[in-house]
Structure 1
């Protein structure tokens, strides 16, 4: 079974989606389940986890509604204000939406490099554990040091790093990212998504060889049991196609056993998100 552990839906709004820069103009439009259904059929993908792209409660409601109408959406990673003093109450209310498996905050957009270590945010993460929710970590490499301290505070919380923490593939920067990623991977409650790499490379001229050093590092550090295939569709469309992402991943892991390949392509996502 193949599960896409990371993709997005949206009704395009130039204000809400202001992060879509001119260089990404190809995705300045609506992307809904009907647009993905044929792709999944062609690529033999069985289901997905829909991940928030906007930090509002209405975004989570939007994804929950889509999931109720779409059989291949197996789980939702939504947004909740983890710094809210009433976080327990907010999570209790959301817990009735069983399709919601976890939450994410767009930490990469925070100016404070230690945002994850704020007292109020830590209180929110503690509350997630009371409801068995997962947490997706979205950061840039310069924020990885705080990630290391952050995940060590919650050894029982299930974390997953989105997009390998977005290494600077285009610039060829590797050593600093690799050193901290290896330390983060020592925390066995942290997984990593094999996703989002082609958009960290040169949009027009990337090759699979550009990506392999980064993929090799996380395979060695996290192992086949803590890596999750993700397309990052439709963001991936600025640098290629869904098929490009899936083929690049499958070609990279074909040296592994069939069991290990199945874990990365679907089983790990099922287990991590309790799909």
Structure 2
């Protein structure tokens, strides 16, 4: 298995202002803590953890230098300030010089609507695609119609852009009591799946439900809908550790994922567990069939 969405952080090394809002996970979370958690997964894609933007390249270099017998970082999704528009090119050039970097992410989940549709943000997305970097998108359910508009503009200009939607677009499961039509999420996901170069991560759902008292069965319809929309060839598993520890932990989430996908044919399960991430992030181009067969 490949965990396509892993975070690590060291608050003594870099600044993560947002961690002050989640003290339960605000301490050091590195490879040793990962190993101690016993996730049973060794291979992962690191996704930037929103340290101070000025430290973004330092975060990449720290992650690239890590070595641990229980964790192998196969690729890095780094931060890039896409709001700079075409001026982001120098930052993207710096990322391309770092061999483990496969893609970039500029989270918009806490940004105003105007940020998402701003022409400079779109220019930044186009620049990232032209630099050969994958694009992770992190947005909330209510923002998905805006994302649809922006992706239409991106793919019109750069049809070969490779984009993945984090956490299935963050449906607010708690607010809508498990109703997949809440905030138009189900319809939005169906429209998003119409972009052939868009993939999605089955990740982050437990923390979209109530952090305590959330029921495992509430999450299944969201995963089933994603399967119906994207198919296994465009879906990948993500653990979202250590954020997942806010809502029952990694073992709980992995058990939910495995129970929900257990009835799929073995080749489809392997695609979601490793094959899609391998192909999307170009993690092991020398042996893709091993992971897909």
The TM-score normalised by the length of structure 2 is: 0.86
Matches of 1:19 and 1:179 in 2, distance apart?
Answer: 31
- Aligned to 1:5, the other structure's residue is in SS state strand
Contact (CA 8 Å) 1:64, 1:100: kept in 2 or not?
no
Aligned structure 1 segments of 4 or more residues deviating by more than 4 angstroms: none
**Cα RMSD over matched residues?**
1.9
Greater mean alpha carbon deviation, residues 74-83 or residues 224-233: 74-83
Which residue, out of 62, 65, 70, partners 2:67?
A: 70
- Kindly report which structure 2 residues correspond to 1:1-275, keeping only aligned pairs within 5 A, or say none: 2-12=1-11, 16-20=15-19, 24-39=22-37, 42-54=38-50, 56-70=53-67, 72-84=72-84, 85-111=86-112, 113-153=113-153, 154=155, 155-171=159-175, 172=177, 173-175=179-181, 176-275=184-283
Q: Is the 8 A contact 1:64 1:99 kept in 2?
A: no
- Contact 1:114–1:146 (CA<8 Å) still a contact in 2? no
> Are the counterparts in 2 of residues 8 and 232 from structure 1 also a CA contact under 8 Å?
yes
2:20·2:26 contact (CA, 8 Å) conserved in 1? no
Unpaired segments of 5 or more residues in structure 2?
Answer: 284-293
Distance apart, 1:174 and its partner CA: 2.4
Taking the aligned partners of 1:248 and 1:63, their CA distance within structure 2 comes to: 31
Q: Is the 8 A contact 1:114 1:143 kept in 2?
A: no
Q: How far apart, in 2, do the equivalents of 1:207 and 1:21 lie?
A: 27
Return the structure number with greater relative CO, CA threshold 8 A, min gap 6.
Answer: 1
The number of aligned residues is: 269
Kept after mapping to 1: 8 A contact 2:129/2:135: no
- Gaps of at least 5 residues in structure 1 are none
CA distance in 1, matches of 2:254, 2:89: 38
